[in-house]
């Protein structure tokens, strides 16, 4: 018997038009978009379907938008198939989608809280002060050492351990630039400065983490009906009591995606579905393990392909 995990993407997977196909074809998806619009008191669905792209790319909009498309894909899959996951996980923002999937967070609460999370993250560090870069084709220890040597009184460190040979670093703009140049000089295949508005998943995001921690106090936390993996611990949530703490810590700690996926594989998972826009997690899985069969579901075509 195949053992499934449902995985949910994070920021960077968004595109104008995402989710429209599902909304047009399934009432259950249309209901999710309507619920998101009502929760925020504005038309998030219009932003997903029509843009403009510059508005969709703002962190405070991107986060609730991707969450909504992911949950719409989840609801359609639940209606159209009898696949039940043994494990759920999400990359950064995607962890909120995973907690909705496990029944721990109510969708409307999650939409409102990730709108706040996006706002807090945008406001934590003035624009231009922090940045991020993806280092490709270099091993983890080498990237960590380069960050240490490039800090020079500022801060830079790995923020996303995405896949072997793909590590994202985050910190003060100048320190990130120094580390990027050093990585290139020391043999990285490629270094890409990312177009982000803040140094996510670094200790510079502590003000955002503190504000999110406060905001999470007012949210009802339900039982973990499906085991959920945490980005911070790269392990399963021990209980629902850990949800607020781990979601708070996640903002200013690295995403340990490689270890998280290895933990999932140890639990016997051999099939995974990426629910939401894009195929970022499918691409990472190919680098992490060839033993997991993985497909994405984000529109009608990918749904048909996955269910076939």
Active site residues: 92, 201
- What residues contact residue 138 under an 8 Å CB cut-off, 6+ apart? 165, 167, 183, 186, 187, 188, 189
Q: What is the DSSP letter of 82?
A: -
The answer to whether 171 touches 212, Cβ cutoff 8 Å, is no
Q: Where are the beta strands (DSSP E) in the chain?
A: 4-8, 87-90, 130-136, 156-163, 166-172, 190-193, 229-230, 235-236, 271-275, 293-297
Distance CA 308, CA 295 (A): 11
Residues across the chain: 308
How large is the angle between the packed helices 27-40 and 107-124, nearest 10 degrees? 50
Alpha helices by DSSP H, 92-172: 94-101, 107-124, 140-150
The answer to whether 9 touches 279, Cβ cutoff 8 Å, is no
Q: Which residues pair with 193 in a beta bridge?
A: 133
Cis amide linkage into residue 12, ω under 30° from 0: no
56: which 2 tokens?
């969709």
């Amino acid at each position: 018997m195949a053992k499934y995990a449902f995985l949910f993407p994070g920021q960077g997977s968004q595109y104008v038009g995402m989710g429209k196909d599902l909304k047009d074809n399934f009432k259950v998806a249309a209901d999710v978009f309507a619920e998101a619009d009502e929760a925020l008191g504005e038309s998030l669905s219009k932003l997903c379907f029509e843009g403009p792209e510059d508005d969709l790319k703002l962190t405070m909009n991107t986060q609730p938008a991707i969450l909504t498309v992911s949950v719409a894909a989840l609801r359609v899959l639940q209606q159209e198939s009898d696949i039940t996951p043994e494990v759920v996980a999400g990359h950064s923002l995607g962890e909120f989608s995973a907690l909705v999937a496990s029944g721990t967070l109510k969708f409307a609460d999650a939409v409102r809280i990730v709108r706040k999370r996006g706002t807090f993250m945008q406001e934590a560090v003035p624009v231009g002060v922090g940045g991020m870069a993806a280092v490709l084709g270099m091993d983890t220890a080498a990237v960590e050492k380069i960050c240490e040597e490039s800090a020079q009184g500022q801060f830079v460190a790995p923020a996303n351990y995405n896949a072997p040979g793909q590590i994202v670093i985050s910190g003060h703009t100048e320190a990130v630039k120094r580390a990027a140049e050093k990585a290139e000089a020391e043999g990285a295949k490629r270094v890409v400065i990312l177009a982000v508005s803040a140094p996510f998943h670094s200790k510079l995001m502590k003000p955002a983490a503190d504000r999110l921690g406060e905001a999470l106090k007012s949210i009802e936390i339900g039982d973990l009906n499906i085991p959920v993996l945490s980005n911070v611990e790269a392990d399963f949530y021990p209980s629902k009591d850990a949800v607020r703490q781990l979601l708070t810590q996640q903002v200013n700690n690295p995403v340990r995606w490689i270890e998280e996926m290895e933990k999932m594989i140890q639990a016997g998972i051999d099939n995974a579905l990426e629910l939401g826009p894009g195929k970022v997690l499918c691409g990472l899985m190919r680098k992490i393990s060839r033993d997991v069969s993985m497909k994405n579901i984000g529109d009608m075509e990918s749904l048909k392909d996955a269910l076939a």
